[in-house]
Structure 1
Amino acid sequence: MEPRYLRQLAEIVELGSLSRAAEALHLTQPTLSRNMKSLEAQVGAPLLKRGRYGVAPTVIGAALARQGRLIRDAMDQAEGEVERWRQGQDGKLRIAVGAMLARSIMPGFVSHILQSKWNVGLRVSVDGAERLLDRLRRDELDIVLAPGQRHFAADDLIHDVMFEDHIGLFASEKHPLARRREVSVADLTAATWTTVGVLSGARDTTREILSRIGVDGARTVIEFSGDISIALSLVSSGNYLMAAPSFLMRHIDDPRRFVELRFKAEMPRRDVAMWRRQDMKDHPLIEEFKGRFEAYVRGLAGSKSG
């Protein structure tokens, strides 16, 4: 079975059109049609069916299109490796982080890496921690920066804590509680909350976190997953509170909009760890990344305390 035909099938399925796929692949439409007929002859069944809104795959066509996408992605990665070699780079790291890290310290860290002229190609992804760790297990990633929670642990993965953190309770400067020297259980129970705990990659919701510190019955109005921009906008309006990792919240794009409320309780830990597979334990590029990230975070912590 011709691999390039599978790649072409994937393009047709994604675009839903032979003509658009031919244009994207820089082929004539008759050539692409002939290639698909050849592939169908090898399979012994139709791969595409015409519909009202273009072409769609048959069951076997969809299965082969998935394989075509894998072939395309592998070829793209191979071409990337060649390009990095031509540029004289020492290697490539596939890094992934959660939404809070992406919105807080990662932009500055990536900029720091680029300015240091470290001769390594980087690919950075953003997603939920559990999905990223699954991708790490499948060798789609080299490093995942995510909470060092015990429920993530597995025999095939190892992790080192990069920095310690805890959950903090945050309000906008405009919120009435932001002006209090200390808030009470009654204050927190009466407030309205957005649920953003899932964004840190942990399983705890805001309600569960509050219950652990003795605040029961708090009202949560909406739960977010993925990008945190909407949650931050709601909190910055001055009408809502949220629980989120303290160190990361102090380093978001505009930390002056948010105040960490003072509350007498031992807050849950939310340390950030570097996860990798066992077979990458002593990989020199990963060890170099680890040292650079730890040094960058130490610099942030020192500048904040200073």
Structure 2
Amino acid sequence: MATLENDAIDRFFRSGLKLPHLRILVSLAELGQVTRVAAAFHVTQPAISKQIGEIEEALGVPVARRVGNAVELTGIGKVMAARGREILRHIELARRDVSALTTGTAGHVRFGAVTTIPQPLIAHAVELFMRRAPTATLSFVETTLDKLVKMLDEGELDLALGRNRIADNQDVLSQQTLHREPFVFVVGASHPLGKVDLPVSWNDLRPLRWITPLRGSPAFATLVEALAAQGIALDRGALESSSLTLNLSLLIRGDFVSILPLSVARHHVSRGRMRVLPLAPLEPLGEVVLVWRADTSAPAADLFSDCLRESSSELLTGEAE
């Protein structure tokens, strides 16, 4: 009996499963009602019920059950919806790749970013771009936001990523927040506060040596304000640095405390190099902002903008690491 059931399941996944089946199950998981799914697909309710029936008949097991006016997926239905969501995502990525390749996007993109943008975000966007536009070229510069804005103003850059929205030049520059993530307080795993279960309070930060953003930057002002609210002043010897590479190296050695974007900190925590201290994060520093010239447009720059948006959305789920 079990062999017959397995044969039916194998046959369904080899030749019976269709993309509409997956789209319906994914939508049913999200919307919870057949009527809503039917409206989303612009078909009748019986048409959706028929598709669900095809799946259940082929598998020999139910994938959904009614609970009042709603429809709830069974355990098997939930597994298929979860896997279906992944499959549909990869199909959409394939569509984007093929679309970009068939249009023959070419040209040169000039791109810059501040140093605190997570490197996986940029690296993944570059990989997507070079795959979708293999004949295009790209140049990259890493510097402070004020210099990036100046380069955009003077036409030396097409796109830039910053940590703050700009207040002026709105007639020339456009901007969009790609995502928000907090900055968190971190120490190296070998730091005296680096033990995972060790309780930490704000008072524990008073005697520590700091790596801070450059004085005069919005990040420095936000950090100083947050510490002042806890009665802490940066009056000990501190290192001011805009080099993420240097900051990470010093932190991992265990001598300093600093702040990092959550996604960057999470990457090193997962590898046992760092600890995020159990203190309130700095929410105002959490934006990643894409800035571009509003008066010019090029297919290659537009494509790279899309790649940055895609990479940014994946970063917070860990897929772009």
Give the distance between the partners of 1:248 and 1:153, measured in 2 at CA.
Answer: 30
SS in 2 for 1:286: helix
Cα deviation 1:79-130 (Å, max 9, x = unaligned): xxxxxxxxx7622110001223374532343234334445422111111111
Cα deviation 1:229-267 (Å, max 9, x = unaligned): 322222111121001222234347996422221114664
> Judging changes above 3 Å, is the alpha-carbon distance between structure 1 residues 248 and 222 closer, same or farther for their aligned structure 2 residues?
same
Q: Within the alignment, does 1:186 sit opposite 2:203 as a pair?
A: yes
Partner in structure 1 of residue 305 of structure 2: 290
Partner in structure 2 of residue 261 of structure 1: 277
Of 129, 133, 136, 2:149 maps to 133
Q: CA deviation at 1:284?
A: 3.9
Partner in structure 2 of residue 161 of structure 1: 177
Counterparts of residues 210-221 of structure 1 (less than 5 Å) = 210-211=226-227, 214-221=230-237
Cα deviation 1:11-53 (Å, max 9, x = unaligned): xxxxxxxxxxxxxxxxxxxxxxxxxxxxxxxxxxxxxxxxxxx
> Judging changes above 3 Å, is the alpha-carbon distance between structure 1 residues 229 and 98 closer, same or farther for their aligned structure 2 residues?
same
Of 229, 232, 237, 2:253 maps to 237
Q: CA deviation at 1:277?
A: 1.9
Tell me, which stretches of 5 or more residues in structure 2 are unaligned? 1-103
Cα deviation 1:60-85 (Å, max 9, x = unaligned): xxxxxxxxxxxxxxxxxxxxxxxxxx
Q: CA deviation at 1:209?
A: 4.7
Report the AA paired with residue 152 of structure 2.
L
Asked if the contact 1:190–1:219 (Cα under 8 Å) also holds between the matched residues in 2, the reply is: no
Q: CA deviation at 1:296?
A: 1.7
Report the AA paired with residue 204 of structure 1.
F
TM-score by length of 2: 0.57
Q: Within the alignment, does 1:250 sit opposite 2:261 as a pair?
A: no
SS in 2 for 1:148: coil
> Judging changes above 3 Å, is the alpha-carbon distance between structure 1 residues 240 and 216 closer, same or farther for their aligned structure 2 residues?
same
Partner in structure 2 of residue 48 of structure 1: none
Q: CA deviation at 1:170?
A: 0.9
> Judging changes above 3 Å, is the alpha-carbon distance between structure 1 residues 181 and 268 closer, same or farther for their aligned structure 2 residues?
farther
Give the distance between the partners of 1:93 and 1:115, measured in 2 at CA.
Answer: 14
Tell me, which stretches of 5 or more residues in structure 1 are unaligned? 1-87
> Judging changes above 3 Å, is the alpha-carbon distance between structure 1 residues 265 and 102 closer, same or farther for their aligned structure 2 residues?
closer
Asked if the contact 2:183–2:282 (Cα under 8 Å) also holds between the matched residues in 1, the reply is: no
Give the distance between the partners of 2:306 and 2:294, measured in 1 at CA.
Answer: 18
Cα deviation 1:170-213 (Å, max 9, x = unaligned): 11111122224552110122322111x239x6352575153365
Asked if the contact 2:109–2:139 (Cα under 8 Å) also holds between the matched residues in 1, the reply is: yes
Partner in structure 1 of residue 50 of structure 2: none
Partner in structure 1 of residue 317 of structure 2: 302
SS in 2 for 1:161: strand
